[in-house]
Amino acid sequence: MLIACFDLEGVFTPEAWIAVAEATGIPDLRRTTRDVPDYDELMRYRLKILDAHGLTLPRLQGIIAGLDPLPGARAFLDWARARCPVVILSDTYYEFADGFMAKLARPMLFCHTLEVDGAGRITGYKLRLKDSKRRAILAFRDLGFSTLAVGDSYNDITMLREADRGIFFRAPALVKRDFPQHPAVESYADLQAEMEKLL
């Protein structure tokens, strides 16, 4: 049986950090894993900026709560869930993703957690597991599933490599150029067609 594993931001939802950058007028927060492949380096950079500008978790949650899933995301996700188990494997945080999960009818989500002090200041983050996306794919394979992985950025590469089928969805040209072994699609209709080959 197939299990379909998807990244969240860039696949089903807008990039939360880009939305925060636009809402706060801090362009340095636009950097994502598409720009900085080293996740720890990127998060340390973000936390310094948040601290310097006094941005708290409630402020970020308010911005992110106003975002909607990408057009067509919910319909595609509903289609996929009707055909096989679906899991979202993301490098976001539960504290950010709750609003998105409600709008997507609460798919299973594996992600990370933030460390927050009593004033709502984000002081750090805790990874659920190092290289968690790849390790989830390995665990699902050990449970007897064949695996599909779909992502859009550098932080998805290890899960795409490990899956029986790894596909880029709306990935930047640079990412697609660096990893040509993975097919790339630009629409949910094309992604559905790729999934249908595996079902």
* pLDDT the model gives residue 35: 78
- What residues are paired with 184 via a beta bridge? 168
Question: How far is the C-alpha of 140 from the C-alpha of 156, rounded, in Å?
Answer: 16
Continuous segment of H or E residues that includes residue 136: helix 132-142
Q: Are 7 and 111 in contact (CB under 8 A)?
A: no
Whole-number pLDDT of residue 117:
96
Give the active site residues.
Answer: 7, 9
pLDDT of 4: 98
- pTM of this structure: 0.92
181 φ, ψ (degrees, to nearest 5): -70, -15
pLDDT value for 38: 82
Q: pLDDT exceeding 70 applies to what percent of the chain?
A: 100
What the chain holds in terms of domains, given with CATH numbers, is 2-13+70-196 (3.40.50.1000), 17-65 (3.90.1470.10)
pLDDT the model gives residue 40? 87
Average confidence (pLDDT) over 163-167: 97
Task: Determine which of 7-21, 36-50, 111-125, 174-188 has the lowest per-residue pLDDT on average.
Answer: 36-50
Place of tokens 């859009």: 152
* Other C-beta atoms lying within 10 Å of the C-beta of residue 173: 8
pLDDT in tens, 47-103: 999 999 999 999 999 999 999 999 999 999 999 999 999 999 999 999 999 889 999
Mind listing the pLDDT tens digit for each residue in 98-147? 889 999 999 999 999 999 999 999 999 999 888 999 999 999 999 999 99
Q: What is the pLDDT of residues 28-54, one digit of tens each?
A: 999 887 777 788 888 999 999 999 999
Q: Give the residue from 108, 106, 124, 88 showing the smallest Cα distance to 8.
A: 88
Considering only the C-alpha atoms of the chain, give the largest distance between any 2 of them, rounded to a whole number of Å: 50
d(CA 91, CA 132): 9
d(CA 66, CA 118): 24
CA–CA distance, 112 with 128 (Å, rounded to integer): 5
pLDDT, residue 32, reads 80
